Amino acid sequence: MTYCVAITVDAGLVFASDSRTNAGVDQLSTYSKMFCFEEPGERVLVLLTAGNLATSQAVVMQLKRDMKQGKLPNLSSVEHLSEAAEYVGEISLAQQQKHVNAAAGSGLDTSASFVLGGQIGKARPKVFMIYPEGNFISATGETPYQQIGEIKYGKPILDRIIRPETTLEEAALCALVSMDSTMRSNATVGPPIEVLLYEAGSLRLERQFSFGADHPYLLSLKSDWEQALKQAFSTLQHFDWHSPLQN
Amino acid sequence: MTYCVAITVDAGLVFASDSRTNAGVDQLSTYSKMFCFEEPGERVLVLLTAGNLATSQAVVMQLKRDMKQGKLPNLSSVEHLSEAAEYVGEISLAQQQKHVNAAAGSGLDTSASFVLGGQIGKARPKVFMIYPEGNFISATGETPYQQIGEIKYGKPILDRIIRPETTLEEAALCALVSMDSTMRSNATVGPPIEVLLYEAGSLRLERQFSFGADHPYLLSLKSDWEQALKQAFSTLQHFDWHSPLQN
């Protein structure tokens, strides 16, 4: 599985993704799930992928090929981010359909989902989540993040921390904590963890980071968060569990 | 959906369950998912249910009927908790199979899963998780809890807090926090929250509690935990996100 999250705050966007791919417990590999498309000063797009690796790789390859060959639409030609989301959705659906007949009855799931975020020109930065069926939804002020893959373990901390006024740096830290909670409870999500901070209006992707399994910051965050959580838990007031049959 | 958890510590067992049942967003109801069977001084059994409500109610009814009519095996007759788990699994499978043909193709899922825990005589307290297929697994020292239903949101805190030496009261608090995280992130899990603390060797169920949505302790725990989590998050050391392209 996979865990990817994109966070929208007033200051910009934060993207985070794990890199573990598994097709059964004896086929664990590492693949980046974060793809960046940048025309500095003009447009930036970041794509996160989850689901069938063959499908998501085929989609990314076609996105690059369409741009190179100038086939329209492509990520350089679209005028709005929502057009880009629609285009990615169409490509994804087409790639999945290529294998539908071969996969029928085999139990193979060729579906993939995507998070696409970025900024084009002077429009506001946006994030879309693209379903396997090709349709998509956008993150809003009330729902300031989009997740794909193993989304549940890391959702509670996002729900509690992320607000429109959260800084980019806090949002990036929260994404890492959300990722850490997911890795702690689910073996199919693993490092390297890629994190990208995009400052609204900059139209440049300059702050991209990769944390390997033994990155000192990732290790210390893991143990610091464990300690901080235990400390937080220890401050909670206990209920009087001794009164029998109390309601 | 549902969220139920049973925790095994050296001091005994803790059970917690929510009470929301939904069959679509306009059919929300409240049903207890915790069922207690007690012969004081001889045996105690606690059953938590998740999945299809018709199936789980039919199972509970048959468990009671078998005991009343003295049909063997029943929860009073079994000599080991694992026999009880096998018996519950068999009843569950039989109930599901009654409706398999009617449900075929309708998209209706008649499956149910169960957590069964307790103590019989001088044997150690145990907890089993019973799959819809009727087979079951037990909680152990390395895996000191069993969950059914919406299990992912509330798993990280259990993974971090529960150890064999955790007290019953701490385990009960942790179960409530795990429940709170689940309710915060998933609308299909809701109060009243039932919690039962069982002291190993007591062979009595005396500490059972129900927290309604407006129970002052549940409300204060909710806000205290939110505050404590935010405080914990604020203590984390930030990464230097400003160095461009750092790895």
- Whether residue B197 lies inside any domain: the answer is yes
User: What band does A246 get if pLDDT is binned at 50, 70 and 90?
Assistant: very low
Name the one residue in this structure whose structure tokens are 């290790």: A219
Q: What is the pLDDT of residue B247?
A: 45
Residue bearing tokens 């798993």:
B155
Give per-residue pLDDT as tens, B79-112.
999 999 999 999 999 999 988 877 777 878 889 9
Q: Are strands B3-9 and B12-17 parallel, antiparallel or unpaired?
A: antiparallel
Q: Which of B14, B145, B239 to mutate to test the interface with A (most CBs of A within 10 A)?
A: B239
Neighbours of A174 (CB within 10 A): 25
**Inter-chain touch A241–B177, beta carbons under 8 Å:** no
Partner-chain contact A239 B209, CB within 8 Å: yes
Residue A227 lies in a domain: yes
Average pLDDT over residues B188-206: 95
What integer pLDDT is reported at residue B243 of this predicted model? 64
Radius of gyration (C-alpha) of chain B in whole angstroms: 20
Distance from CA of A62 to the nearest CA of B (A): 26
- Number of independent structural domains in chain B: 1
For range B140-166, the mean pLDDT: 92
Confidence category of residue A130, pLDDT binned at 50, 70, 90 = very high
Touching A: B residues 144-203, CB under 8 Å? 150, 152-153, 155-157, 159-161, 168-169, 172-174, 176-177, 181, 184-186, 197
Task: Using a CB–CB cutoff of 8 Å, tell me whether A242 touches chain B.
Answer: yes
Smallest CA-to-CA distance from B67 within B80, B84, B55, B50 is with: B84
The pLDDT, as a whole number, for residue B30 is 87
Give the end-to-end CA distance of chain A in Å, rounded to a whole number. 42
Per-residue pLDDT tens for A203-235? 999 999 999 999 999 999 999 999 999 999 999
Mean pLDDT across chain A = 93
End-to-end CA distance of chain B: 42
**A140 has pLDDT over 60:** yes
At residue A243, the pLDDT reads 64
Domain-embedded: residue A242: no
Q: What is the structure's pLDDT at B139?
A: 80
Taking the CA atoms of B121, B124, B129 and B135 in sequence, report the sign of the dihedral they define: negative
The confidence band for B208, taking pLDDT boundaries of 50, 70 and 90, is: very high
A220 touches chain B (CB under 8 A): yes
* % of chain B residues with pLDDT over 90: 82
Phi-psi region of B68 (alpha: psi -120 to 50; beta: other; left: phi over 0): alpha
**Any idea how long chain B is?**
247
Compute the average pLDDT of residues A69-88: 97
Please tell me the distance from the alpha carbon of residue B45 to that of residue A53, in angstroms, as a whole number.
46
SS (H, E, C) B134-190: CCEEECCCCCCEEEEECCCCCHHHHHHHCCCCCCHHHHHHHHHHHHHHHHHHCCCCC
Residue B170 lies in a domain: yes
Size of chain A in residues: 247
Is residue A243, in this structure, part of any structural domain at all?
Answer: no
Residue B246, in any domain of the structure:
no
Out of A210, A220, A236, the one facing B228 most closely (by C-beta) is A236
pLDDT (average), residues B11-21? 95
Please report whether residue A165 resides in a domain: yes
Of A45-59, A134-148, A162-176, minimum mean pLDDT range: A134-148
Where is pLDDT greater, at B14 or B101? B14
- ipTM of the complex in this document: 0.89
For the stretch A29-64, pLDDT in tens is 889 999 999 999 999 999 999 999 999 999 999 999
Tokens of B161: 């807090």
B198 touches B14 (CB < 8 A): yes
Sign of CA dihedral A197, A203, A204, A205: positive
Tally of CA atoms within 13 A in the half-sphere of A19 that contains its CB: 16
CB A238 to CB B173 under 8 A? yes
Q: Which CATH number fits the domain that encloses residue A150?
A: 3.60.20.10
Is the per-residue pLDDT at B24 higher than 90? no
CA–CA separation, B191 and A151 (whole Å): 23
Of the candidates A154, A78, A153, the residue with the CA atom closest to the CA atom of residue A116: A78
Sign of dihedral through CA atoms A226, B48, B216, B214?
Answer: positive
| Amino acid A247: pLDDT | 45
Span A186-196, pLDDT tens digits: 888 999 999 99
CB contact under 8 A, A231 and B230: no
What secondary structure, in 3-state letters, does A144-181 show?
CEEEEECCCCCHHHHHHHCCCCCCHHHHHHHHHHHHHH
* Contact across the interface for B156 and A244, Cβ inside 8 Å: no
Write out pLDDT tens, residues B59-71.
999 999 999 999 9
Residue A164 is part of which domain span?
3-234
B40 touches chain A (CB under 8 A): no
Nearest residue of A to residue B226, measured between CA atoms: A160
Nearest C-alpha in A relative to B194: A247
pLDDT of residue B244: 54
Residue A10's contacts (CB-CB under 8 Å, 6 or more residues apart) are A164, A165, A200
Establish if B233 touches chain A: CB-CB under 8 angstroms: yes
pLDDT at site A148:
97
Is position B240 within any domain?
Answer: no
Task: Give the count of alpha carbons within 13 A of B236, CB side only.
Answer: 31
Instruction: Give the nearest chain A residue to B212 (CA atoms).
Output: A247
Chain B CB contacts of A208 below 8 Å: 245
- How confident is the model at residue A105, as a pLDDT? 76
